[in-house]
Chain A
């Protein structure tokens, strides 16, 4: 009788990761592939970031490539702009998207317009990563969704993943993009799900939406932290016999309008979900595009499910009132169905 043999291991092409691990993996791949890549921000070095997105990277790549800065967001972004001008690929971490505001002058005055104001003599291949959004009971100013401010800024791209695989693939595309990219990471999804993520240099193109579920009756357009909320609402609707097509935009700038319009042309109904304040949010842009380009297909008014025009409330007991939940999305789906 021969000894039992161990089966040869399958070549591993995937590894199970949370979103934050996938982001760490993408940063590792980028640092390893290109020595112009530099990561900096508050607490990103020894500590590995408050969410551990940069865990272990300073130890692996040294203090010159992964380093802590003084606590000053305008300084972080402004310095990153200078690094980008001088030929590096800067990746800045802003600790929370709600802390981005001191840097808005650098972003609005310079980051977005440097290519334009130098007629492409200089360009800024800079990535600014920022955890955003609510749902995890953070203190004041830790749960903001300021993506519309950036989407309204010419010359910058805005990317928001909703899965570990997308986070890795989109982040590597962002790092390799010649232009500045804001990469908002939904805090709620950092560790809540795991999936098999491709190892190595894996990329998902910027500007292509993802069809999350297919359905013939209603199109739900969302991104980031709202994708899982929309999925839950879609599942409930499906159980009630309503076919819901959930589209994860992935990229706000440039927006994949073709995918949105094709879906709305099929379903004739649109619900848009974000956790940002209602007035002048990116959801309004999506609604305007649908109204301009596909109004003849609409069988019901477009409905937005959003946060409210108040600062994001840090009150655990009622946080869920502000942040859209599956019940509110399901109600919006019924509303467009019953119009």
Chain B
């Protein structure tokens, strides 16, 4: 399992260290992601965010991988990959809107090829193959990156996608975040396999196992995979070995299915702390410059929250929008029904108010 820096920040592979600017960029992105995760919990408890899946502790797995892409590449995130989406440039306000159940969270920026968070498991893997193949057919050098968890790798779509990508030589990078748990089911009950990266062998494509809490390692292997895909070398499966320290969602109670012993040791492997200690030790960051960075990030988040707060709620008939390019006669009729019902209810409410 590849590591570039140890949990205590010490350099293990000096030959693989990215340049200082990249290391600082990765730290900034991990901090942005963690800030979202931490503020998200608070907002949820305040009733200002809906149920969302936290990802704190998995920042290196998401940021180090997504940072290897450019804006011309595709990103297919699962519901737990907010950190990856933010890294590629998904606006915080849109992300908050998504987890607030607002349709404004479904409006993706036109300059970004990041798909909405996928709720069904593994279905996005074959789709990433198709997007990658389309880029290849159109003669670009763009790639597609798709995320999945260890539980998702049990799904048939995972295996079909790896097989398709290999057989069709699609420029695709598959990230398998092995975070130990599929809600309550530990990986050992999910599969008898112990090294999930070796699943790539069955499809004739490279498989790489990397410390998923080491952002410099995840960045290194993903950049190699992206370069290979861009230059026609085909797909790669990358297993990032990490841990879901937090519950499955903010509404989940993990004490029902796991013990302190399960979690033991993972705090010491925290990806943000690991890179922080390294940057401070190398003199690339000072406590003062870090304080400025954190202030920047907090301000950016609060501005985005204000923007999300300003998004209007949808009107009732909007639920029928965007089904087809042109609404069918049936949809037009149903729209009239909703509008009439809305008017009737509004009038009834007014009448009730007047009576009172």
Contact = CB atoms under 8 A, between A and B. Distances in A.
Interface stretch (A11-19, A25-33, A102-110, A297-305): A102-110
Interface residues of B, number: 40
Contact of B164 (A75, A122, A177): A75
A82 B123 contact: no
A78 interface: yes
Nearest to A121: B108
Given A69-B168, A78-B123, A78-B127, A119 B134 contact: no
A179 B167 contact: no
Interface residues of A, number: 47
Given A78-B123, A85-B115, A105-B120, A119 B107 contact: yes
Interface stretch (B17-25, B33-41, B292-300, B318-326): B318-326
A207 to B, nearest CB: 7
Contacts of A254: 328-330
Interface string A245-283: 000000001110110000000000000000000000000
A78 B160 contact: yes
A75 B126 contact: yes
Nearest to A108: B120
B93 interface: no
Interface stretch (A86-94, A233-241, A306-314, A331-339): A86-94
Interface string B106-146: 11101000011000100101111111111101100000100
Interface in A44-88: 64, 67, 69-70, 72, 74-75, 77-88
Contacts, number: 140
Contacts of A102: 156
B152 to A, nearest CB: 13
Given A82-B129, A83-B133, A109 B323 contact: no
Contacts of A191: none
Interface string A177-217: 11100000000000000000000000000010000000000
B229 to A, nearest CB: 14
A207 B327 CA distance: 12
B331 to A, nearest CB: 8
B87 interface: no
A6 interface: no
Contacts of B227: none
A109 B120 CA distance: 7
A72 B125 CA distance: 13
A207 B328 contact: yes
A2 interface: no
Contacts of A83: 130-131, 133-134, 137
Which of B74, B115, B134, B144 has most A Cβ within 10 Å? B134
B167 A81 contact: no
B163 interface: yes
Interface in B2-21: none
B112 to A, nearest CB: 10
A75 B322 CA distance: 25
Chain A CB count within 10 A is highest, among B106, B138, B164, for B164
Given A64-B137, A72-B160, A118-B108, 13 more contacts: A74-B156, A75-B157, A78-B123, A78-B160, A79-B127, A83-B130, A83-B133, A86-B130, A87-B134, A106-B126, A115-B324, A119-B107, A257-B330
19 contacts: A70-B163, A74-B157, A75-B129, A75-B163, A78-B130, A82-B128, A86-B134, A88-B137, A105-B120, A105-B123, A109-B123, A110-B127, A116-B322, A119-B103, A119-B321, A157-B324, A178-B324, A178-B325, A254-B328
Interface of B: 74, 103, 106-108, 110, 115-116, 120, 123, 125-135, 137-138, 144, 156-157, 160-161, 163-164, 167-168, 321-325, 328-330
Interface of A: 38, 64, 67, 69-70, 72, 74-75, 77-88, 90, 102, 105-106, 109-110, 115-123, 154-155, 157, 177-179, 207, 253-255, 257-258
CB-CB nearest 7 A-B residue pairs:
A82-B130, A78-B126, A86-B134, A254-B328, A75-B160, A79-B130, A82-B127
